[in-house]
Amino acid sequence: MKIFLIGYMASGKSVVAEKLSQLLGFRFVDTDKWIEARCCKSIPEIFSDHGEIFFREKEKECIEFLMDHQDIVVSTGGGMPCSNHAIELMIELGETVYLEAEVSTLISRLWNEKSGRPMIPDIETIEDLHRFISNHLSQREEYYKKCKHIVCVDGKSVEEISKEIKHILL
């Protein structure tokens, strides 16, 4: 079984995927970490040096690499499902779970870690961050909502979310 966790930045994809993989005895793959290792650069450096189109191509390569792997939980980048028909490919390859979060939840998680996020490093006020996330999320949700399963993450611990996903899938 392949499980793809999908959602906006700071929705908890990586920490939930890691915990879920432990609960299921599966391997954990973080697509951003995979890309960083392949390119020997951080995600912000890749965006800065090569641009978003290059990065999206690397995401596609990652999915293609994972096609032949089984018993994995994959944490995807927030934009991965929105380009190169990636969401359709992930749906075909395995289970897709959208970790849905309210804008207020995302703001509280992102406000103090903007520097590691290539899409938001220059945002200076919470109001600007709210506006950016609201607009960006509304563009991405059409892809996110194609997932086979949707799990709301607001107010839940990593453990609770992971157990809920395990219950849904098994």
pLDDT one-digit tens code per residue, 77-130: 999 999 889 999 999 999 999 999 999 999 999 887 766 777 776 788 899 999
Least confident of 121-125, 143-147, 148-152: 121-125
Distance CA 53, CA 47 (A): 9
pLDDT of residue 113: 75
Instruction: Tell me the pLDDT tens digit for each residue of 2-45.
Output: 999 999 999 999 999 999 999 999 999 999 999 999 999 998 89
Eight-state DSSP code of residue 13 = H
**Residue linked to tokens 């960083």:** 36
Tell if the pTM clears 0.85, that is, is over it. yes
Q: CA 154, CA 143: separation in Å to the nearest integer?
A: 20
Four-way CATH pick for 2-162: 3.40.50.300, 3.30.2320.50, 3.20.20.70, 2.40.50.140: 3.40.50.300
Say which residue the tokens 């965006």 belong to.
Answer: 47
Model pLDDT, residue 120: 77
For residue 157, what pLDDT is reported?
96
The full set of domain ranges for the chain reads 2-162
Separation of alpha carbons 8 and 103, rounded Å: 10
